[in-house]
């Protein structure tokens, strides 16, 4: 039995369909208690502020967020008894607002993008609220360095990781996980994913995109650029089509940035693949030449040794498709 819901933060790492000769594994962050990767930084930023004495029981927390950080903070604030105001762009999905309100948070909607929400939160902080500054706060990255990264290392066991592919918002996930994994695997590639229509990292130009959570339109202080080997851009249409495929073919209901991350992970895996290796291409299957006789002869162990050599790409699925129902992206009449 856990003392607190906050002790249940953590997520599984699950193999997804991979190009022949490779393995892709996805960290299913929707399994965290408030349903996204942001439960981790929310807890770490609040506890860091408590330790530094900038946050005390009667304070009200304020944070600009496109949603998931707000939901994570709403969970932490409810658990620890803080008041919370979330400033968010009105364009983001209503599910997010409803969830934050359900946890007892107040919502302040602004027109425009996340940069407009940041300006509004800055003025509320000047009036006395405590802002956690997820784009600059090192505790955001530290949460992933101390929790997500070590969980992945433990979950891959003896296997080496060849690449990490992750979407970028604040940069906390890719920087924290990337820094920890690269300590273990110095040759590992780190590949950032951003919206094709708002490809600030690739082009230096911001633009308008329909992704929620990924692609803030500027380079966040928490993004450790020197960790990145390359950047992949993915269109919203390709990402949403991949979300539908993941749901219908693999039983994984995930959000837009997860779909984009998997599109990019498959590109990276196809590039790193060693087709002559006997890697199971789809989850739950055995490699083609692993027949019953081979298994009876102790084949699985031997074959498993072969799987271990398959290039391994780890990606992160930050949240669930349930947070995107109102966008219509899963409607039955939308083609795969």
Ligand X SMILES: Cc1ncc(COP(=O)(O)O)c(C=O)c1O
Question: What backbone torsions phi and psi does residue 59 show, to the nearest 5 degrees?
Answer: -80, 155
The catalytic position among 38, 93, 261, 320 is 38
- 118 catalytic per annotation: no
User: Of 187, 164, 186, which is closest to residue 175 (Cα–Cα)?
Assistant: 164
Q: Between residues 62 and 168, which has the closer beta carbon with respect to ligand X? A: 168
Q: Which is nearer to ligand X, 220 or 303 (CB)?
A: 220
* The one among 21, 70, 213, 280 contacting ligand X by CB under 6 A: 213
Minimum gap (Å) between residue 34 Cβ and ligand X: 12
Cα end-to-end distance, the chain, whole Å: 42
27 is known as an active-site residue: no
Among positions 85-144, residues that touch ligand X (CB under 6 A) are none
- Residue among 33, 35, 149, 171 that touches ligand X (CB under 6 A): 171
- Distance CA(168)–CA(171), nearest Å, equals 5
Residues 232-271 that bind ligand X (CB under 6 A): 255, 257
In the region spanning residues 314 to 333, those forming contacts with ligand X, defined by CB under 6 A, are: 318-319
Catalytic position from the list 66, 93, 257, 320: 257
CA dihedral 71, 76, 77, 81 (to 10 degrees): 150
CB of residue 330 vs ligand X: minimum separation in angstroms?
Answer: 15
307: Cβ contacts below 8 Å, ≥ 6 apart? 23, 278, 279, 280, 287
How far apart, in whole angstroms, are the C-alpha atoms of residue 236 and residue 39?
25
**Who contacts 205 (Cβ-Cβ below 8 Å, separation ≥6)?**
199
Q: Is 167 in the site for ligand X (CB under 6 A)?
A: yes
Residues from 188 through 207 that contact ligand X (CB under 6 A) = none
Residue nearest ligand X, CB atom distance: 213
Q: Which is nearer to ligand X, 56 or 90 (CB)?
A: 90
Q: 3-state DSSP call for residue 34?
A: coil
97, HSE (Cβ side, Cα atoms, 13 Å):
14
Phi, psi (deg, nearest 5) at residue 89: -65, 140
**Residues assigned a catalytic role:** 38, 257
Interface contacts to ligand X, rule CB under 6 A: 36, 38, 67-69, 167-173, 212-214, 255, 257, 318-319
């Amino acid at each position: 039995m856990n003392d607190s819901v906050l002790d249940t933060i953590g997520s599984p790492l699950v193999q997804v369909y991979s190009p022949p000769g490779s393995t892709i594994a996805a960290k299913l962050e929707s399994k965290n208690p408030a349903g996204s990767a942001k439960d981790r930084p929310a807890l770490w930023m609040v506890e860091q502020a408590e330790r530094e004495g900038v946050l005390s029981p009667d304070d009200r927390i304020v944070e600009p967020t496109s949603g998931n950080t707000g939901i994570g903070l709403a969970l932490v604030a409810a658990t620890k008894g803080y008041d919370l105001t979330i400033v968010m762009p009105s364009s983001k999905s209503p599910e997010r607002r409803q969830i934050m309100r359900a946890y007892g948070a107040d919502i302040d909607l602004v027109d425009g993008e996340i940069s407009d929400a940041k300006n509004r939160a800055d003025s509320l902080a000047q009036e006395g609220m405590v802002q956690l500054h997820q784009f600059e706060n090192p505790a955001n990255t530290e949460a992933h360095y101390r929790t997500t990264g070590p969980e992945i290392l433990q979950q891959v066991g003896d296997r080496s990781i060849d690449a990490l592919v992750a979407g970028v918002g604040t940069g906390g996930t890719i920087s924290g996980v990337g820094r920890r994994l690269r300590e273990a695997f110095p040759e590992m590639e780190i590949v950032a994913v951003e919206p094709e229509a708002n490809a600030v990292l690739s082009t230096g130009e911001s633009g308008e995109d329909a992704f929620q959570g990924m692609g803030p339109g500027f380079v966040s202080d928490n993004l450790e650029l020197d960790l990145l080997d390359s950047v992949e851009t993915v269109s919203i249409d390709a990402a949403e089509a991949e979300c539908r495929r993941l749901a219908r073919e693999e039983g994984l209901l995930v959000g837009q940035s997860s779909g984009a991350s998997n599109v990019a992970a498959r590109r990276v895996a196809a590039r790193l693949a060693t087709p002559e290796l006997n890697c199971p291409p789809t989850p739950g299957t055995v490699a083609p030449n692993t027949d019953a006789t081979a298994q009876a002869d102790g084949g699985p162990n031997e074959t498993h040794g072969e799987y271990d050599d398959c290039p391994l790409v780890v990606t992160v699925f930050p949240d669930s498709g349930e947070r995107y129902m109102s966008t219509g992206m899963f409607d039955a009449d939308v083609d795969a």
